[in-house]
Amino acid sequence: MRQGGTDAVHDERLALRKRRPSLVDAACEHIRASILSGAHWPGSQLPTEAEFVDVLGVSRTVVREAVARLAAAGLVEARQGKGLFVSETARYQAFQITREEVENLSDVIQLLELRLSVETEMAALAAERRSEVDVMSMRQQLKILGEAAIGLDDSVKADVEFHNVIARASKNSYYAKLIDFLGVRLVPPRSLYLRQGQSYVGARYKAVISEEHEAILDAIIRRDPDAARVAARSHMSSSLKRHRDLQDFMSSHSPTG
């Protein structure tokens, strides 16, 4: 029947309500706790599925799904014919940022602070290591950004891509990964600009951004790490200031105080 049909998003809030913990949740927690408690060190063998079935009093299906979850999280590793093992990377939890955090403007500012530090050094590395192709890609994105009739979506896209190219030019894959990671997290707040009556997306705003981008690109072309650092810091600082101003504006005009 597929009751949801085309009206799948009929109630957003319902999706966020707390569900009572399932058996799989419980099994998951049991195994995770037994690992984090230190009873099993990385690389050591865990009890078998059958043993978990006995201890937890659930079916093998439940145990297997719990293991699937933990394996997906990189906490355990199942080896056919051998058994279940604590992953060597068990302590390597992911760097995660939840949706709730991002939707809070003050968190966005904190993220921008983090991004500032990353972008400055990344620009410096890019200045040292960039290739000619990298420079061409940067020029291309800035050209797109400079076009008069560009839409907001395309504008954001080109902006993000410009920074991605710098990340790649740094020849350090972790910068690229982190910037990509932080990038999608910083897209949502742009809707805030729109709510403010597009006061920030006017021509003057565009010109300022453009100048900042050009300064970064210039430094990278000249292979001048220090100048690139300064330019990138300046760019991110302005971005940060704009967000801070917005935060002040909203907190002084919001009905909730």
| Window 50-89: contact mask with its own copies (x via CB under 8 A) | -----------x--xx--xxxxxxx--x-x--xx-x-xxx
User: According to the binding rule CB under 7 A, does residue 204 interact with DNA?
Assistant: no
Q: Give the binding range for its own copies (CB under 8 A) out of 146-154, 179-187, 191-199, 220-228.
A: 179-187
DSSP secondary structure of 192-224: HHHHTTTTTSSHHHHHHHHHHHHHHHHHHHTT-
* List of residues 6+ apart from 52 with CB closer than 8 A: 27, 30, 31, 58, 63, 66
User: According to the binding rule CB under 7 A, does residue 195 interact with DNA?
Assistant: no
User: According to the binding rule CB under 8 A, does residue 29 interact with its own copies?
Assistant: no
Distances (CA, A) of 246 to 106, 190, 223, 240: 10, 11, 35, 10
DSSP 148: T
49 in Cβ contact with 60 (< 8 Å): yes
| Window 128-147: contact mask with its own copies (x via CB under 8 A) | --------------------
Please select the residue that binds DNA; options are 18, 82, 99, 204, rule is CB under 7 A.
Answer: 82
CB of residue 19 to DNA, shortest distance in Å:
8
Residues lying near DNA in the complex (CB under 7 A) are found at 1-5, 7, 14, 22-24, 48-50, 57-62, 64-65, 67, 78-84
